[in-house]
Amino acid sequence: MCCVTLISSTWHGEIAWRLRAMATDPGWRNQGIGTGMIQCLLENLRESDQVRPIWSNARISSTRFYWELG
């Protein structure tokens, strides 16, 4: 119903994560599943001491989703 791909990358010369892709099946959208996936991903990074900047080439239609996540 939802997937996310995070790969090791760089951002302005620093080690970072690149959120390469994220998708939620249309029948499951707007139910908080994507938000939950990102929150779980961030929690896992904190717990494994791998917190670093995250960047993405998101579609304009997805801007609000990521903006609200901070």
Tokens representing 49 are 């001491």
pLDDT of the residue at 13:
95
Domain count, the chain: 1
Tokens representing 31 are 């139910």
Is residue 59 within 8 A of residue 50, CB to CB? The reply is: no
Query: What angle (nearest 5°) sits at the alpha carbon of residue 24, between those of residues 36 and 8?
Result: 70
CATH number of domain containing 64: 3.40.630.30
pLDDT of the residue at 69:
85
Helix (H) or strand (E) holding 62: none
Among residues 35, 38, 3, 37, which one has the least CA distance to residue 21?
Answer: 3
| Residue range of the domain that includes 28 | 2-69
> Which single residue is written with the structure tokens 């892709």?
21
Tokens representing 4 are 């996310």
Return the percentage of the chain with pLDDT > 70, whole number: 100
